[in-house]
Amino acid sequence: PLRIGILKLLADRDLTNEELATALGVASGKLYFHTRKLLDVGLIELSETRQKGSITEKLYRLKYRDFYQPPGDGVNEPVLLATVVEGVRLYESTWKEIGEPMAHGCNYILYHSEESQASFRQKFLDLIKEFQDTAIDPNLPGARVLSLTMLLHRTTKDDTSD
C-alpha cells in the first residue's frame, strides 16, 4: 500500500522522500525503504537534487513512460526480471485496492518463425510508443491512470524442436 501511495503522489509532481512521508503519514525512515525499492526496480527515478541548508534533498518522479528495456547487452539474461516481478506485485495490490479488474489480459504461447518474431517485436515497440505518445495531462477531466505491461519472449532456450 505504501508503494502504491508513492506512485500515486508522484503522478502529480516530483517529491522528496520527506514530502512523500508527510503526505502518507509515515516516518521518512520507514518510507525510504519503499522509495528505494521503487527506485531500484525502475518505476521511479531521481529527477533532481536541491540544497536545503546543509541538507541535499532528492526529488523523485515516475518513470513509467520509460518502462522499456531497449535491445543491447543482456539479451540472454532476464534484464527486466526484478522490474517485472515488482510490477506484477504492484498491479495485484492495485487491483485489490481499487477493486477494478484488469481491463484486458492474455497469455499465448505459440510457435513463430524468426520473421514473424521480428514483425511482432516491431509492432510491440510501435504500440508502446503509441501508448506513450497518446498520454494526456493527468489534470484533464476524465484522465485515468492506465498501465500497459507487455512481455514478448521465447519460452525455450533451444528452438530447434522437430
The predicted pLDDT at position 139 comes to 85
pLDDT bin (cut points 50, 70, 90) of residue 69 is very low
**What strands lie across the sheet with 55-62, from one edge to the other?**
15-16, 55-62, 44-52
CA 160/CA 138 separation, integer angstroms: 48
Per-residue pLDDT tens for 71-111?
Answer: 444 444 444 566 666 667 777 776 667 666 656 666 677 88
For 10-59, the pLDDT digits (tens) are 877 899 999 999 999 999 988 999 999 888 877 888 999 989 899 899 99
Q: What is the pLDDT of residues 101-158, one digit of tens each?
A: 656 666 677 888 889 988 988 898 888 889 888 988 888 898 887 777 777 777 766 5
What is the torsional sign of CA 25, 34, 15, 91? Answer: negative
CA atoms within 13 A on the CB side of 46: 8
